[in-house]
A and B are shown apart, each in its own frame.
Chain A
Amino acid sequence: MSDYREENKQQNNTPDPNYWRSFEELYRNEKTLEARHHEFADGVTDDFDPNENLSGISRRKFLALLGASAALAGVACSDYRDKGEIVPYNVKPEEIILGKPNYYASTCTACANSCGILIKTREGRPIKIDGNPEHPVNQGKICAKGQANILNLYDPERIQQPLKKTSTGFDTIEWNKSDKDIIAALSMAGSKEIAVLTHTITSPTTIKVLDDFKVKFPSAKIYSYELFNSSNRNSAWLKCYGSGSFPLIKWNEAKVIVSLDSDFLGVEGNTVENKRLFAEGRDVNKKSFSRLYVVESSMTLTGMNADYRMRLKPENQFAFVMSLMNELNKKGAISTSLASEYNLESFVQKFNLDKEKVNHLVNDLASNKGKSILYAGDLLPENVHIAVNILNDLLGNKTLYRNDSSEVNLINLSSLNELKELTDKISNGQVAAVIHLDCNPVYHFPNDLNYKNFLSKVPTVVTLTERMNETAQFSNYVLPINHNFESWGDAKTRTGLISLQQPVIAPLHNTRQKEAILLTWISTNPETYSETLYHDYLMKNWETNIYPTLKSKIDFKQLWFGALHDGFVLTNESISSIGNVNLAALNTAGVNVEANGLTLILRESYQVGDGRFAYNGWLQELPHPVSKITWDNYAALSHNTAKSLNVENDDLVEVSVGGRKLTLPVFIQAGNADDTITIELGYGREFSGIVASGVGFNANSLLSSKPGLSNWIYTNASITKAGGKYPLASSQEHHAFDNPRTQDLHIKRHIIQEGTVALYEKKPDFIQENRPKELESVYTPFQYNEMKWGMAIDLNKCLGCGDCVVACNVENNVPVVGKDQVLKSREMQWLRIDRYYSGSPDDPRVSVQPMLCQHCDQAPCENVCPVVATTHSPDGLNQMVYNRCVGTRYCSNNCPYKVRRFNFFNFRDHFRDGYQESSIFTLMFNPEVTVRSRGVMEKCTFCVQRIEEARSEATRRGTPIKGTDVKTACQEACPTNAIHFGDINGKDSEFYKYRTHELGYYVLEELNVRPNVTYIAKLRNIHTEEL
Chain B
Amino acid sequence: MDRKKFFLSAALAAAGIALFKYIPFTSTRKKFESKKVEVRINPLAVSRKKVGEKNV
> Interface on A for B, CB 8 Å cutoff?
71-72, 75-76, 78, 80-81, 93, 95-96, 100, 102-105, 118, 121, 123-125, 130, 133-134, 156, 160, 486, 502-506, 508-509, 532, 535, 554, 559, 561-566, 569, 690, 913-915, 917-921, 923
20 contacts between A and B (CB under 8 A): A72-B20, A75-B17, A75-B21, A76-B20, A95-B47, A103-B51, A104-B46, A104-B47, A124-B39, A133-B52, A502-B42, A504-B47, A505-B39, A535-B44, A554-B56, A562-B55, A565-B48, A913-B32, A914-B26, A918-B33
Q: Is the CB of B55 within 8 A of A565?
A: yes
- Nearest-neighbour CB distance to chain B for A482, whole angstroms, equals 11
Is A565 touching B41 in the complex (CB atoms < 8 A)?
A: no
Distance in angstroms between the alpha carbons of A919 and B48 in the assembled complex: 28
Q: Please state if B44 and A532 are interface contacts (CB–CB under 8 Å).
A: yes
Taking CB atoms and an 8 Å cut-off, the chain B residues in 6-56 that contact chain A are 13, 17, 20-21, 24-26, 29-42, 44-56
A915 contacts across to B, CB distance below 8 A: 31-32
CB distance B17 to A920 under 8 Å?
no
Nearest CB in chain B: distance from A67 CB, A:
10
Q: Nearest Cβ distance between residue B53 and chain A, in whole angstroms? A: 7
Q: How far is the CA of A561 from the CA of B55 in the complex (A)?
A: 9
Complex Cα spacing A486 to B30, Å? 27
User: B13, A71: Cβ atoms under 8 Å?
Assistant: yes
Instruction: Name B20's closest neighbour in chain A (CB-CB).
Output: A75
Residues of A within 8 Å of B17, CB to CB, are: 71, 75
Question: Could you tell me if B55 and A103 are in contact, using CB atoms closer than 8 angstroms?
Answer: no
* Residues of A contacting B37 in the complex (Cβ-Cβ under 8 angstroms): 508-509, 919-920, 923
Q: Looking at B24, B51, B52, which has the most chain A CB atoms within 10 Å of its CB?
A: B51
Task: Chain A residues near B47: list those with CB within 8 A.
Answer: 95, 102-104, 121, 504
Inter-subunit contact A156/B45 (CB<8 Å)? no
Q: Which residues of B contact A (CB under 8 A)?
A: 13, 17, 20-21, 24-26, 29-42, 44-56
A564 contacts B41, CB within 8 Å?
no
Chain B residues lying within 8 Å of A690, measured Cβ to Cβ, are 31
From B21, B30, B40, A124 is in contact (CB under 8 Å) with: B40
Instruction: State how many angstroms separate the Cβ of B37 from the closest Cβ of chain A.
Output: 5
Contacting pair B20 A102 (CB below 8 A) = no
Chain A residues, Cβ within 8 Å of B30: 913-914, 917
Q: Which of B44, B45, B50, B52 has the most CB of A within 10 A?
A: B45
The answer to whether residues A503 and B24 also contact, given A134-B54, A919-B36 and a CB cut-off of 8 A, is no
Q: How far is the CB of B30 from chain A (nearest CB, A)?
A: 5
> B21–A80 contact, CB under 8 A?
yes
Contacts of A503 in B (CB 8 A): 42, 44-45
Report whether B55 and A918 are in contact in the complex, using a CB–CB cutoff of 8 Å: no
Q: Which residue on B lies nearest to A972, using beta carbons? A: B51
Known A563-B56, A913-B29, A913-B31; contact A103-B21, beta-carbon cutoff 8 A: no
Q: How far does the alpha carbon of A379 sit from the alpha carbon of B20 in the complex, in Å?
A: 59
Give bound CA distance, A567 to B23, whole Å. 50
Task: Assess the A506–B42 pair: CB atoms within 8 A.
Answer: yes
Smallest Cβ-Cβ distance to A920: which chain B residue: B34
- Please report the C-alpha to C-alpha distance between residue A914 and residue B49 in the assembled complex, in whole angstroms: 35
- A76 — which chain B residues lie within 8 A by C-beta? 20, 24-25
Say yes or no: B34 contacts A133, CB within 8 Å. no
Q: A103-B51, A564-B46, A565-B53 are in contact. Are A124 and B41 (CB under 8 A)?
A: yes
Q: Tell which of A78, A506, A563, A914 touches B21, judged by Cβ atoms closer than 8 Å.
A: A78
Cα A503 to Cα B27 in complex, Å, equals 35
Q: Measured between alpha carbons, how far is A118 from B47 in the docked complex, in Å?
A: 10
Complex Cα–Cα for A71 and B49 (A) = 51
Residues of A within 8 A of B31 (CB): 690, 913-915
In the assembly, what is the distance between CA of A564 and CA of B33, in Å?
35
Q: Which residues on A sit within 8 Å (CB–CB) of B42?
A: 486, 502-506
Closest 3 pairs (CB-CB, A-B): A918-B32, A506-B40, A562-B56
Give the nearest-CB partner of A158 in chain B. B34
Q: Tell me the nearest residue of chain A to B32, going by C-beta.
A: A918
Q: How far is the CA of A95 from the CA of B42 in the complex (A)?
A: 11
Q: Which residues of B contact A93 (CB under 8 A)?
A: 41
A72 to B18, CA, bound (A): 11
Complex CA gap A913/B27 in Å reads 11
Query: Which chain B residue shows the least CB distance to A134?
Result: B54
Bound-complex Cα distance A972 to B25 (A): 42
A81 touches B39 (CB 8 A): no
A918 to B21, CA, bound (A): 21
B19 to chain A, nearest CB (A): 9
Which of B25, B50, B55: most chain A Cβ within 10 A?
Answer: B55
In the assembly, what is the distance between CA of A349 and CA of B38, in Å? 68
- Which residues of chain A come closer than 8 Å to B35, judged between CB atoms? 160, 919
Q: Are B45 and A502 in contact (CB under 8 A)?
A: yes
B34: A residues at CB distance < 8 A: 156, 160, 918-921
Task: Report the Cα distance A105→B47, complex, angstroms.
Answer: 7
From known contacts A913-B29, A914-B29, infer whether A504 and B45 are also in contact, taking CB-CB under 8 Å: yes
**In the assembly, what is the distance between CA of A484 and CA of B53, in Å?**
23
B24 touches A103 (CB 8 A): no
> Contacts of A72 on B, CB cut-off 8 Å?
20
Given A502-B45, A504-B41, 18 other A-B contacts at CB below 8 A? A75-B20, A103-B50, A103-B51, A104-B45, A134-B54, A156-B34, A502-B42, A502-B44, A505-B41, A505-B42, A554-B56, A565-B55, A690-B31, A914-B26, A914-B30, A919-B37, A920-B34, A923-B37
Contact of B48 among A96, A103, A918 (CB under 8 A): A103
CA distance A920 to B34 in the complex (A): 7
Which B residue's beta carbon lies closest to that of A97?
B49
Q: A76-B20, A104-B46, A913-B32 are in contact. Are A81 and B26 (CB under 8 A)?
A: yes
Residues of A within 8 A of B36 (CB): 919
Residues of A within 8 A of B45 (CB): 104, 502-504, 564
Residues of B within 8 A of A569 (CB): 56
The complex places the Cα of A72 from the Cα of B13 at a distance, in Å, of 10
Residues of B close to A913: CB separation below 8 A: 29-32
Asked if A81 contacts B24 (CB within 8 A), the reply is yes
| Distance A923 CA – B47 CA, assembled complex (angstroms) | 19
Residues of A within 8 A of B20 (CB): 72, 75-76
Nearest CB of chain A from residue B44's CB, rounded to whole Å: 6
Among residues of B, the one whose C-beta sits closest to the C-beta of A500 is B46
Measured CB to CB, the nearest residue on chain B to A123 is B39
* Beta-carbon nearest neighbor of A509 in chain B: B37
Q: How far is the CA of A563 from the CA of B46 in the complex (A)?
A: 9
Q: Are A566 and B24 in contact (CB under 8 A)?
A: no
CA distance A71 to B41 in the complex (A): 45
| Chain B residue contacts of A559, Cβ below 8 A | 56
Tell me whether B56 and A125 are in contact (CB under 8 A).
no
Most buried by A among B40, B50, B56: B56
- Nearest CB in chain B: distance from A505 CB, A: 7
Q: Is the CB of A133 within 8 A of B51?
A: yes
Q: How far is the CA of A134 from the CA of B50 in the complex (A)?
A: 12
Closest Cβ neighbor of A125 among chain B residues: B39
Question: Nearest-CB distance from A947 to chain B (Å)?
Answer: 16
Chain B hits for A104, CB < 8 A? 45-48
Chain A residue with minimal CB distance to B17? A75
Is there contact, CB below 8 Å, between B48 and A102? yes
B24, B44, B52: the one within 8 Å of A134 (CB):
B52
Shortest CB distance B35–A (Å) = 7
- Checking B13, B32, B39, B49 against A917 with a beta-carbon cut-off of 8 angstroms, the contacting residue is B32
**A75-B21, A76-B24, A103-B50 are contacts. A566–B56 as well, Cβ < 8 Å?**
yes
**Distance to closest chain A CB from B51 (angstroms):** 6
Q: Which residues of B contact A504 (CB under 8 A)?
A: 41-42, 45, 47
Closest residue on chain A to residue B52 by CB atoms: A133
State whether B49 touches A100 (Cβ < 8 A): yes
Identity of the chain B residue whose Cβ is nearest the Cβ of A914 in the assembled complex: B30
Contact A118 B32 (CB under 8 A): no
A124–B41 Cα distance when bound, in Å, is 6
The CA-CA distance from A504 to B44 in the complex, in Å, is 9
- Tell whether, in the assembled complex, residue A919 and residue B41 are in contact, meaning their CB atoms are under 8 Å apart: no
Contacts of A102 in B (CB 8 A): 47-49
Q: When chains A and B are docked, how far (Å) is the Cα of A105 from the Cα of B21?
A: 47
CB distance from A99 to the nearest CB of B (A): 13
